[in-house]
Amino acid sequence: QVQLVESGGGLVAAGGSLRLSCAASGHTFKTYAMGWFRQAPGKEREFVAAITRSGGSTYYADSVKGRFTISRDNAKDTVDLRMISLKPEDTAVYYCAAAGRIGGWGTEAPYDYWGQGTQVTVSS
């Protein structure tokens, strides 16, 4: 069992930046790939970024590539999402998730555990 708690959301003006953090409980964090998803009002939850267990590989949705950076610290059991050049269309609830299975990072299928989410609002 892994419990995930996100933090760092808030209100920011377009062009600004935010850093989201996700803290994981338990002693098995390094055995999970980690991902960030987001859900805007009235829309389906969508993939944002993922990072492999070692942190050696990262994956991004085209919409955030070059603006968002995912990283993890296996010593602290945390995964971060640094967001710059934020746009109003980035407004959403952001969720971190832990994947026990390999591959398919861009879909929800491999993710076993989810956090409660943190709201990010980007004003125009």
- Residue range 85-105, pLDDT digits in tens: 999 999 999 999 999 888 888
Helices (H), 44-118: none
- Residue range 53-82, pLDDT digits in tens: 999 999 999 999 999 999 999 999 999 999
Distance CA 55, CA 13 (A): 30
Distance CA 53, CA 65 (A): 20
Distance CA 73, CA 124 (A): 33
